[in-house]
Structure 1
Amino acid sequence: MEEYLRERYASAAASLSKKLVRRNFQPIICQNLEEAKERALEKIDQNQSVGFGGSITIEQSGIIEELYQRGQKMIDREKTTSPEERHQVMKQALTADCFLTSINGITEDGELVNIDSVGNRVAALTYGPDKVFAFVSMRKVYGDLNTTVEMVRRNTAPLNAHRLSLEKTPCIKKGTCGDCLQAECICNTIAITRRSMAKDRIVILLIIEEVGL
């Protein structure tokens, strides 16, 4: 990453952190994904259960592998062998002690914007696990609320549609969100988290490095 871009993100992160604190979030500024992983690992007790949602950023961090290596109790839908079992494990993850996720977009005022297909990821963010660790790159700070929702729908959703090898949505056919009602739609839920009811329950790992989709 160019130094001038790193400096710009660092300044924005310092300003955004103050706004996140006012909204009862717990921001932690991290220079890169490796630091974000280490900070999260420090805060997760080895006796706690951990669930997680689908996230490229979480996958790239390597935190899942490290949690397994230290004997963490993992609630892992990827270990299931049938759709029915997968569904049950996803429900169990909502009762985990800790939940790992990413954030699709953040407004400059500190509101969190997420678009979800099944809804398990935003459900865990909103209520359930005692602690949520949300990994997010500073390049996902887009502006006001309307701009952030638009950017997530027009940019992140199509990228995820291609990543998941969908076939019939406008994201695939045109490369941009078409407000579809297709069975494959991955934009079924748009969640705006403007404040955490419980102070410091949601830890926002603000990553200076450009990571994720």
Structure 2
Amino acid sequence: MTNRTAEKTEACAAALRRHRFEAEVVKDAEAAFALMKAVVEAENPQLVSFGDSMTMRGTGIVEWLRSNGRLTLLDGFDASKPYEERLEIRRRALLSDLFITGVNAVTEQGTLHWLDKVGNRIAPVAFGPRKVIIVAGRNKIVADRDEAEERIRRIAAPQNVARHPGFRTPCAKTGVCADCNSQDRICNTRMEMLRCWPDKRVLVILIDEDSGL
């Protein structure tokens, strides 16, 4: 980690704070887990849920939530349940007290950007849960909205399709977005969060190392 990289991450956190997000910079996934665990324990939520994210999963928070007997976890990714049941759990997550997920891009201007297939990852971020935690590696930081959209098209979307065997999209074969109309398309709903309301409802944890897609 260079001083320049660290300064960029800290500057991004400062921009997020100016936009009324709560933002913290941590050195690695282990530190991110410790912070998320502390927030969960401080908030003492009755219902907790999460949206899929490689960065989030890499911290170990999902396993901890699943083993925590003091809260109710709405786990919409339990592979033992049929898809329709998992989808219904994801709908219920809109009314959770605390929601945890990742993000596709964070701008140096202090905004958050997503592109989603189902929408269950972004809908609770926009409204519903009283507290939201977003975790992102420094590789998600880009200059502005245009770079955020470019990052999603060229990196996040094609690489996420690649980790889902059986998805039949042009980018699954070429690695390049073709703005397709496939049933398996994962780029269906775009969301950007420009400011946080109420203040500090959303905590953004920036990991000062590369993590996720």
Which piece of structure 1 moves more, 60-69 or 34-43?
Answer: 60-69
**Residue 26 (1) aligns with residue 22 (2):** yes
Indicate the residue corresponding to 1:10 in structure 2. 6
Secondary structure in 1 matching 2:190: strand
User: What TM-score do the two structures reach when normalised by structure 2?
Assistant: 0.93
Q: RMSD across aligned C-alpha pairs, in angstroms?
A: 1.3
Give the aligned partner of residue 154 of structure 2: 154
1:85 corresponds to which residue? 85
- C-alpha distance in 1, partners of 2:29/2:13? 17
For structure 2, the 5+ residue unaligned runs are: none
1:47 to partner: Cα distance: 4.5
| CA deviation profile, 1:123-161 (whole Å, cap 9, x unmatched) | 011011111110001111111111111111111100000
1:55 maps to what in 2?
53
Identity of aligned residues (%): 33
- Name 1:131's counterpart in structure 2: 131
Describe how 1:1-213 pairs up with structure 2 within 5 A. 3-4=1-2, 7-45=3-41, 46-71=44-69, 72-79=71-78, 81-213=81-213
Identify if the C-alpha distance between structure 1 residues 41 and 152 changes in structure 2 by more than 3 Å, giving closer, same or farther: same
- List runs of 5+ in structure 1 lacking aligned partners: none
The residue identity in structure 1 corresponding to 2:33 is K
The separation in 2 between residues aligned to 1:159 and 1:202, in whole angstroms, is: 26
SS of 2:203's partner is strand
Q: Secondary structure at the match of 1:121?
A: coil
Alignment length (residue pairs):
209
**8 Å CA contact retained: 1:9, 1:139:** no
State the one-letter code of the partner of 1:58: M
Q: Deviations over 1:78-97 (max 9, x none)?
A: 23522221111000111111
